[in-house]
Amino acid sequence: MVSTGIVRKLDELGRITLPIELRRSMGILDRAPLEIIVDDDRIVLKKYQPEDIFTGETDDLIEYHGLKVSKKSIEELAKIAGITK
């Protein structure tokens, strides 16, 4: 990890503001979803990218019960279950 030297305080609601220069350099647009990851004693913010729960692929996703599954995984699961043509 690389330190940016930027220090921000939380406001009374627990929010922080990411500097515009940092958002621009990382390609983070206004209102972009960020994933919050806890790693030991670190809090990591990551640009959110939905992915297939089985393979991690990001193409052709379908939401099922709040989870993302790619069409390719669905086709492979259908073959395994013996329900394809």
Each residue's pLDDT expressed in tens, for the chain with a length of 85 residues:
788 888 999 999 999 999 999 999 999 999 999 999 999 999 999 888 889 999 999 999 999 998 999 999 999 999 999 997 6
Amino acid at 61: L
**Inter-residue contact 17 to 8 (CB < 8 Å):** yes
Domain residue spans in the chain? 1-48, 50-85
pLDDT at 85: 64
The domain defined by 1-48 carries CATH number 3.40.50.10440: no
pLDDT at 34: 94
pLDDT at 84: 73
pLDDT at 42: 92
**pTM of the full predicted structure?**
0.60
